[in-house]
Structure formats: C-alpha cells, structure tokens
Amino acid sequence: MGKIKIATDWLAGCAGCHMSLLDIDERIVKLLEAVEFTSSPVTDLKHPPEEGVTVGILEGAISNTHNIEVARQMRERCQFLIAIGDCATFGGIVATRNLVGTQAALQRAYLESETTVDGCIPDSPELGVPLETVTGVDKVVHVDLFIPGCPPSADALFYALSELLAGRVPVVLPPELFRYD
C-alpha cells in the first residue's frame, strides 16, 4: 500500500498551528513511514496536487475572498478535511475584527495607527478582498474533523493523524486534548 498523502494550507492564521504540527517532533519520522506530506506553506510545493490527497489540513479563518478560494481548492482535492486551530474552527482571534467591522479595522490598521506614515489601504488586485464577517472554515466548505485550540497541541494533532492512519475517524478529541486556548 502506498503512503497516505496529506496536504496542508493556511488561510487567515498566524502559522502557529503549523508550528504545532512541527512540534510533533521526532514522532514525525515515524509518521512519515506511513504518510507523505505533498504540499504545505512551509515546503517547496505550496498547493495540494491536482490528483488529490487523502487528508487535507487547513489552518486559519475565512477572512477574505482568497481564503475562500484556497479552502475550496483544498476541499475539492482532499477526501477528508481537518480544520485545525480556533481560527479555522470558530474564526478565532481573526474574528475579533467582527466586533469593530472590516472597514473600521482596515482604516485603523492602515491609515490611523500610531506608526502609519502616508498610509493607504492595500487594494492590489492580487490580494483577496476582505469579507464583512470573519468565520470558521465550515461556513464555506464541509469540514470532516475539527481540532480546536490556539494552537492545538502537537499531541492533539498527532492523535488525530494516528487515529486516521489506524482507520478510525476521531469524531471529537479526548478531553485531555480538547481545548479552546
């Protein structure tokens, strides 16, 4: 049997969840005997391969139109999608923006902040357009497994992957690995 392919990507997040993935440490060597990480934001190949992967992992919230595209692409190319971190599961820290409104947040960040000199709100066509409301990934695509935490612990991520490799689908993490912070 060939190795199980896993692709990861990030949306509006801070990379902390991916750091947690790397925190699996030496256990990743063992994991790599059974899986292949095809692509991720921290490898040369950034996008999930067209032929698809078994497991897709997404970090970060849905905050702009670009995030929606990335989330949809991952969904199309994977069989089982995991949302990792509070941003991907609930909107997380990015969703704080909802409480002030997108326009006000942009204005504050790019025009009014104490360190701004000649500020302008970026509007390059290459960039995604900010959405009015930040949400978790499941508001845009179907998610098969949620692993909350900011970031989730390496143990939580390792547990979920190990369960999947063993052919079990963890519906909810065990209590000691389930956390919101």
Partner 1 sequence: MTKRVNITINGQPVQARAGQTVLEAATEAGIQIPTLCHHPALEPIGACRICLIEISKFQPLHPACTYRVTEGLTVETHSPRVEKARRFVLELLFSERNHYCMYCPMSGDCELQDLGYMYGLDHWIYPTYTRPFPVDASREYFMMDHNRCVLCRRCVRACSELVANHTLGMRERGAKTMITADLDVPFGESSCVSCGTCLQVCPTGALVDKRSAFMGRNVQTQRTVTTCSQCSLGCGMEVVVRGSHILRLEGAWDAAPNGGLLCQKGRFDPLYDSRARLTRPRIRRNGGWEEVDWQTALATVAGRLANIAPDRLGVVTTGAATNEALYLLAKLAQDRWPAAHLGLWQQALPVRLQPQGMLTDLPVADLILLVGADPVADQPVASFLIKRAVDRGARLVIVDDPQNGLAPFAHQHFGRTQVGEAAQIAARADRPVVVYGAELTPEAAEALIGINGASFIPLEPGVNTRAAAALGFKPASLPTNVEALLLLLGEETPGAPPTGSRTANEVFTVVQASYVSPWTEQADVVLPMATWAERSGHLTNTEGRIQTVNAAIPPTGEARPDWQILSALAEHLGQKVPSSLEELSELAQSQITRS
Residues near partner 1 (CB under 8 A): 83, 86, 89-93, 95-96, 98-100, 133-136, 138-139, 143, 146-148, 150, 172-173, 175, 178-181
Residues paired with residue 106 on neighbouring β-strands, in sequence order? none
Q: Which is nearer to partner 1, 9 or 86 (CB)?
A: 86
Q: How far is CA 138 from CA 42, 99, 108, 149, 169, in A?
A: 24, 20, 29, 16, 18
Choose the one of ligand SF4, partner 1, none that binds residue 17, judging by a C-beta under 5 to 8 angstroms depending on kind: ligand SF4
Strand-pair partners of 12: 61
- What is the C-alpha separation between 36 and 166, in angstroms, rounded? 16
Nearer to partner 1 by Cβ, of 65 and 133: the residue is 133
Closest of 80, 75, 87, 83 to residue 16, by C-alpha:
87
Min dist CB 117 to ligand SF4, Å, is: 28
Q: Does 9 bind ligand SF4 (CB under 6 A)?
A: no
What sign has the CA pseudo-torsion 51, 83, 38, 124?
positive
State the binding partner of 59 from partner 1, ligand SF4, none, CB within 5 to 8 A by kind: ligand SF4
86 binds ligand SF4 (CB under 6 A): yes
Q: Is 150 in the site for ligand SF4 (CB under 6 A)?
A: yes
Evaluate whether 143 touches 119 at the Cβ level (below 8 Å): no
What distance in Å separates the CA atoms of residue 37 and residue 102, rounded to the nearest whole number? 35
Least Å from the CB of residue 180 to partner 1: 4
Smallest separation (angstroms) from ligand SF4 to the CB of 10 = 7
Chain residues in the site for ligand SF4 (CB under 6 A): 13-14, 16-17, 59-60, 85-87, 92-93, 150-151
